[in-house]
Amino acid sequence: MHDVIVIGAGPAGNMAALRLAEAGLDVAVLDWRADIGDKLCTGIIGRECAAKFPPDPAYVYRAANAAAIVSPSGRRYRVAKSEPQAYIVDRVAYVNSFAVKAREAGAHYLLEHRVTSLDIRKDGAGVVATFNGRERTLKAKMLVIAGGFGSPLLRMAGLSSGKPEDYMIGCQAVVDAPELQETEVFVGEKIVPNSFGWIVPLKEGKALVGMAPRKQVGGHMDILLETLKSKGVVKSVIGQTQTWGIPIRPLPKTYGTRVLVVGDSAGLVKPTTGGGIYYALLSGELAAQTIAEAFEADNFSSRQLARYEKAWKGVFGRELRVGYYARLLFETLNDKQLESLLEEFLSEGVLNEVMNAPDFSFDWHSNVILKVLRHTNMRKVIRSFGPAVAPFAARLLRTRA
């Protein structure tokens, strides 16, 4: 019997395994994939994430201190800081590095093991996994679900009633873009209604082109690629376009008797951008801390493990709440309103005030969002958008700074 079984070897699962193994617990990590870290992702981490969980310099494609926002009309706004605000990393290598450290600390990794059922009781827990066509049963005192977005294991654990409803569909392709030096973000109904698209430079002339619409990609990815080709930014598409689910709201409950849920499985993703690496790592760390305390107390009850949810809400719960309502507000805007919003926000006065604020951060969006909404000029613009926007703006403005 293991002390803890972690289901999923993404950033959250690997971090939980690492911290648990460092605490001296017997940890087994199961993942259906043969290769760790190969989930689709743009691979952008903020400065704070890079400082707290440093990537090997060999995994960093480039530092980013600037980006361009392209409005529905094609107007290009460049936003820049003197110091790097984010880093574009090799996501697979970065995530795998935590698995390497977890193994070195004593965690056991069982790859190509697909967990098909859970058995959670007051006196213990277990999983059934398939490997090479055969079933295998493993027992533990605690389970951590880290299997990613929409995991069916959540229903088995009694923490989800069915399919998630609040989510985006990430869609991304590798392209040849030899002249691209900075990330560009695109908004507008023609490119991607109610969301945004991007092109992110990697290395050796390669880049990632993608978007994150609500539920249906349709032909919008083709439109974005053709637009970038017509401008000479993209020379060709390399390989197939791939898609993945991105939750934008946490589960109502991320804990139960002998089980915790972390990372994308728990919906702990930035609703504004869909970025999940930093919050995944933080949630894995917080889960490990809670589990270590449960072992010390020899208490694996739901009441004991509720400390985990209290902990993550204390760290980034406000970020998720503010980001969610900011996204809903953004989704109500038409192209004309987006143009007005960008023109005012990216004017010299508002932009300088926001960008030069000491609390400006790529990793934490809530302060920036609230600062923008409370700016006198921005409030006038948002009020002019009418009743469709009002409920979300009011909800945000009631949030404590």
Q: Using one digit for the tens of pLDDT, what is the confidence trace for 352-386?
A: 777 777 778 889 989 889 988 888 888 899 999 98
DSSP helix/strand/coil, 349:
helix
Give the distance, in angstroms, between the CA of residue 180 and the centroid of all CA atoms in the same chain: 24
Bridge-partner residues for 198, per DSSP? 185, 210
Is the domain spanning 64-83+167-247 CATH 3.40.1280.10? The answer is: no
Paired sense of beta strands 124-131 and 183-188, if any: unpaired
Supply 190's token pair. Answer: 């023609």
* Predicted confidence band of residue 203 (pLDDT cuts 50, 70, 90): very high
The stretch 158-185 carries a mean pLDDT of 90
**How much is the pLDDT for 401?**
53
* Model confidence pLDDT, tens digit, residues 23-70: 999 999 999 999 887 666 889 999 999 999 999 999 999 999 999 999
Q: Can you tell me the distance from the alpha carbon of 132 to that of 1, in angstroms, rounded to the nearest whole number?
A: 22
| Minimum mean pLDDT range among 4-18, 95-109, 276-290, 353-367 | 353-367
**CB proximity list for 102: less than 8 A, separation 6 or greater:** 14, 17, 18, 21, 27, 29, 109
| Secondary-structure percent of the chain, ordered helix, strand, coil, rounded to 5 | 35, 30, 35
Top-confidence range, 97-106, 165-174, 272-281 = 97-106
Strand-pairing partners, residue 143, are 5, 259
Tell me how far apart the alpha carbons of residues 212 and 195 are, in angstroms, rounded to a whole number.
6
Cα(320)–Cα(302) distance, rounded to whole angstroms? 23
Tokens describing residue 337:
């309103």
Q: pLDDT value at position 355? A: 74
Q: Say what the pLDDT of residue 41 is.
A: 80
pLDDT over 70 at 189, yes or no: yes
Please calculate the CA angle 39-9-294 and round it to the nearest 5 degrees.
140
What's the confidence (pLDDT) of residue 390?
87
Tell me the pLDDT tens digit for each residue of 239-253.
Answer: 899 899 999 999 999
Per-residue confidence (pLDDT) for residue 161, from 0 to 100: 67
**2-41+91-165+248-316 and 64-83+167-247 in the same fold:** no
pLDDT digits (tens, 9 = 90+) for 276-307: 999 999 999 999 999 999 999 999 999 999 99
139 pLDDT higher than 80: yes
Which tokens in the block code for residue 137?
Answer: 């049963």
As a whole-number percent, the residues of the chain with pLDDT over 90 amount to 77
The dihedrals phi and psi of 327, each to the nearest 5 degrees, come to: -65, -45
pLDDT of residue 399: 77
- What was the pLDDT predicted at 147? 93
Please compute the mean of the pLDDT values over residues 169-190 and round it to a whole number.
95
For CA atoms 244, 249, 250, 252, the dihedral sign is negative
What is the Cβ-side half-sphere exposure of residue 5, based on CA atoms within 13 angstroms? 29
Q: How far apart are CA 12 and CA 286, in angstroms?
A: 10
Q: Are 154 and 162 in contact (CB under 8 A)?
A: no
Name the residue ranges covered by the structural domains of the chain.
Answer: 2-41+91-165+248-316, 64-83+167-247, 332-397
d(CA 289, CA 308): 8
Q: What is the pLDDT of residue 357?
A: 74
- The CATH homologous superfamily for domain 2-41+91-165+248-316 is FAD/NAD(P)-binding domain (3.50.50.60)
Token representation of residue 285: 């760390």
Q: Nearest Cα to 262, choosing from 3, 15, 94?
A: 15
Residue 195, helix vs strand vs coil:
strand
Q: State residue 304's pLDDT score.
A: 99
Q: Is the pLDDT of residue 188 over 60?
A: yes
